[in-house]
């Protein structure tokens, strides 16, 4: 029986192939290996080459290990490591997993990585045997140990390739991943007959996926694969790469890489900002609706640039860490938006929100919004740019949302924001396509913060909710008093509000 090889190089076709359970990763040919002591055994036992129930169980083992690897910690460990890039990648991960002698582990993994995708080598088999006896914490279950070793092997060459490709520039990693993909092709084998993108594939046929061509002209990334088998180590890969590249990251950016999402309450004036910080919120955002409404103008109409700058300058005189909601930057000209960003940064802001929705209910073009993001990053590199797409406000398609976020990341956005998205499946699918922290607007009827965390969300904003609640509360009290009812009072005293102005005027250190 002769088998055919099918090549796919169109974005949509590659996604369909990767989602088809009849097309499984191909285990390299070779003898069955010695249990616990050979690369062949390792391949047979890891998630990477498994499918069906075996794959689900083994992928869960990898996920459990990855959950222990906080990206912010990896980044710091990677920075302080030394030696050759592949060795630094692996020793960073091994140290963070608590495996003893991470440097020796790294040397062993690089030898295994040479034959992982095919071939046999006695030296590599020896390293597997050594690692199985060495990997801590010691597991009764050899399958767990194999998948811990597999995680390190998977990370080794791909992450090093990303670092090499990015080492000569400060180009955003999202753009490097798009233009110089560390993983350029993938293989699948048909475990039963199937029909994909109009082609009949027989059992045993081989499918080759050309990721470089498929990704060209399409902003979304394929280099990490695609669900259901998308690389589970994306966040860790980016964190290790950033650490090795010594890319600077601010304290505010670090807050997006903790175990639970950053909860950002949105203030609309100095008093509301100070009152929130007094309750222990490490950083606050502003709400453009609150700033506009207080002035009697519409949100999104680009009329509040001066008021926004004034608020930033006032907050900048205090010890508060804050990020500014600047609508679409109050201009269509990227240079003017960059100038505003520089002023906000000079005032003390640590971040800016830039939205692609316009006051007239349309969206800016992707190119225009991406140009604003690039211009802002060039003018104020340490200002965290949270790129917002309003595709959901305006009832656009999920595909357009994913494409816009990918384009904004490649333009240099530090985070991406999709207000109005609250469907858990869509949030999970979106968080699997982005490489920067995903920001979601809290919805009282949507997922809880813990649920959002489990879906991969890294930042949750309260948007205009607090401002609207404050106005509603004031109106309720006034009408209750007018109507002879007892108002529900839970107000700060006059002196306490005065204290907010007095108590927060020291400059930030
Ligand atoms: C810390 C670094 C990394 C770790 C821990 C890691 C881990 C893994 C693991 C365990 C798998 C197997 C998942 C499964 O089959 O269910 C995998 C798959 C994959 N990884 Fe990564 N990886 C890392 C870095 C990278 C990088 C930098 C890239 C490329 C940009 C990459 C691209 C892929 C791809 C394309 C797959 C899917 C392969 C397939 O299904 O055929 N990985 N990764």
* Per-residue pLDDT tens digits for 6-21: 999 999 999 999 999 9
Tokens of 155: 């990370």
- The fraction of the chain above a pLDDT of 90, given in percent, is 81
> How many angstroms is it from 237 CA to the middle of ligand 1?
9
For residue 398, the model assigns a pLDDT of 73
> How many angstroms is it from 491 CA to the middle of ligand 1?
53
- Given a cut of 70, whether residue 508 has pLDDT beyond it is no
> How many angstroms is it from 48 CA to the middle of ligand 1?
8
> How many angstroms is it from 153 CA to the middle of ligand 1?
9
Contacts of 68 (CB under 8 A, 6+ apart): 96, 97
- Check residue 437 and report its DSSP letter: P
Which tens digits make up the pLDDT trace of 68-126? Answer: 998 989 999 999 999 999 999 999 999 999 999 999 999 999 999 999 998 889 999 99
Nearest-atom number in ligand 1 for the CA of 66 is 5
For residue 507, the model assigns a pLDDT of 39
> How many angstroms is it from 232 CA to the middle of ligand 1?
6
- Given a cut of 50, whether residue 506 has pLDDT beyond it is no
For residue 509, the model assigns a pLDDT of 36
Which tens digits make up the pLDDT trace of 166-200? Answer: 998 889 999 999 999 999 999 999 999 999 999 99
Region 387-393: mean pLDDT is 92
- Given a cut of 70, whether residue 461 has pLDDT beyond it is yes
For residue 431, the model assigns a pLDDT of 92
For residue 315, the model assigns a pLDDT of 96
For residue 139, the model assigns a pLDDT of 67
CATH 1.10.630.10 fits 5-244, yes or no: yes
Contacts of 252 (CB under 8 A, 6+ apart): 283, 321, 323, 350, 351, 384
Q: Which residue has the tokens 């391949």?
A: 43
Q: For the chain, what percentages of helix, strand and coil (3-state, to nearest 5) are there?
A: 50, 10, 40
For residue 46, the model assigns a pLDDT of 97
Nearest-atom number in ligand 1 for the CA of 229 is 16
Q: Considering only 76-80, 217-221, 267-271, 364-368, which range has the smallest mean pLDDT? A: 217-221
**What whole-number distance in Å separates Cα of residue 475 and Cα of residue 472?**
5
Q: Compute the Cα dihedral for 392, 393, 395, 396 and give only its sign.
A: negative
The residues lining ligand 1, judged by C-beta closer than 6 Å to any ligand atom, are 25, 47-48, 59, 62, 93, 150-151, 154-155, 158-159, 162, 177, 182-183, 186, 223-225, 229, 231-233, 236-237, 240
> How many angstroms is it from 449 CA to the middle of ligand 1?
27
Which tens digits make up the pLDDT trace of 129-179? Answer: 999 999 866 667 899 999 999 999 999 999 999 999 999 888 999 999 999
Nearest-atom number in ligand 1 for the CA of 183 is 29
As its CATH architecture, domain 251-470 has Alpha-Beta Barrel (3.20)
Residue 484's Cβ-side half-sphere holds a number of Cα atoms within 13 Å equal to: 0
- Check residue 259 and report its DSSP letter: S
Q: Please state the domain extents for the chain.
A: 5-244, 251-470
Identify any residues that bridge with 459 across adjacent strands, giving them in sequence order: 262, 439
Question: Angle, nearest 10°, between helix axes 288-295 and 305-316?
Answer: 110
Region 330-340: mean pLDDT is 97
Q: Which residue, judged by its Cα, is nearest atom 19 of ligand 1?
A: 231
Region 339-345: mean pLDDT is 98
Best residue among 60, 151, 158, 174 to mutate for probing ligand 1, ranked by most atoms within 8 Å of CB: 158
> How many angstroms is it from 54 CA to the middle of ligand 1?
17
Q: What is the dihedral of CA 169, 175, 179, 182, to 10 degrees?
A: 80
Region 254-283: mean pLDDT is 94
Identify any residues that bridge with 386 across adjacent strands, giving them in sequence order: 353, 415
- Given a cut of 50, whether residue 325 has pLDDT beyond it is yes
């Amino acid at each position: 029986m002769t088998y055919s090889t099918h090549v796919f190089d169109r974005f949509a076709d590659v996604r369909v192939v990767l989602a088809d359970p009849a097309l499984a990763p191909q285990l390299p040919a070779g003898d069955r290996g010695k249990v616990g002591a050979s690369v062949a055994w390792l391949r047979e036992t890891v998630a990477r080459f498994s499918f069906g129930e075996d794959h689900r169980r083994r992928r869960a083992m990898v996920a459990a290990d990855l959950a222990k690897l906080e990206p912010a910690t990896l980044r710091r460990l990677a920075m302080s490591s030394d030696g050759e890039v592949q060795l630094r990648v692996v020793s960073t991960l091994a140290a963070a997993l608590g495996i003893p002698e991470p440097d020796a582990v790294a040397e062993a993994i690089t030898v295994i990585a040479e034959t992982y995708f095919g071939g046999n080598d006695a030296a590599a088999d020896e390293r597997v045997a050594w690692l199985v006896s060495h990997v801590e914490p010691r597991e009764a279950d050899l399958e767990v140990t194999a998948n811990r070793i597999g995680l390190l092997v998977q990370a080794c060459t791909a992450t090093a390739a990303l670092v090499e490709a990015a080492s000569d520039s400060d180009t955003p990693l999202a753009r490097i991943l798009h233009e110089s993909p560390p993983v350029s092709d993938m293989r699948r084998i048909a475990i039963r007959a199937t029909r994909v993108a109009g082609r009949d594939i027989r059992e045993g046929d081989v499918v080759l996926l050309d990721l470089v061509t498929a990704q060209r002209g399409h902003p979304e990334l394929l280099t990490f694969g695609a669900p259901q088998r998308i690389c589970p180590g994306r966040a860790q890969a980016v964190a290790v790469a950033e650490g090795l590249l010594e890319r600077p990251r601010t304290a505010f950016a670090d807050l997006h890489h903790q175990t639970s999402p950053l909860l950002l309450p949105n203030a609309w004036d100095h008093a509301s900002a100070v009152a929130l910080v007094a309750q222990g919120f490490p950083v606050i955002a502003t709400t453009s609706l609150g700033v506009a409404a207080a002035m009697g103008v519409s949100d999104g109409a680009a009329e509040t640039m001066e008021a926004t700058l004034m608020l930033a300058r006032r907050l900048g005189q205090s010890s508060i860490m804050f990020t500014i909601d600047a609508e679409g930057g109050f201009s269509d000209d990227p240079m003017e938006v960059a100038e505003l960003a520089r002023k906000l940064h000079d005032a003390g802001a640590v971040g800016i929100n830039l939205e692609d929705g316009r006051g007239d209910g349309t969206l800016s073009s992707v190119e225009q919004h991406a140009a604003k993001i690039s211009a802002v990053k060039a003018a104020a590199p340490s200002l965290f740019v949270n790129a917002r797409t309003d595709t959901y406000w305006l009832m656009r398609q999920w595909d357009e949302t994913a494409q816009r976020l990918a384009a904004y990341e490649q333009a240099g956005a530090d985070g991406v924001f999709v207000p109005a998205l609250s469907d858990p499946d869509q949030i999970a699918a979106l968080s699997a396509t982005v490489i920067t922290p995903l920001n979601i607007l809290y919805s009282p009827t949507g997922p809880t913060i813990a649920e959002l965390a489990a879906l991969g969300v890294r930042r949750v904003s309260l948007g205009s909710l607090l401002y609207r609640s404050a106005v509603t509360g004031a109106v309720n009290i006034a009408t209750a008093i007018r109507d002879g009812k007892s108002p529900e009072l839970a107000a700060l005293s006059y002196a306490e509000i005065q204290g907010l102005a007095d108590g927060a005027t020291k400059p930030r250190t």
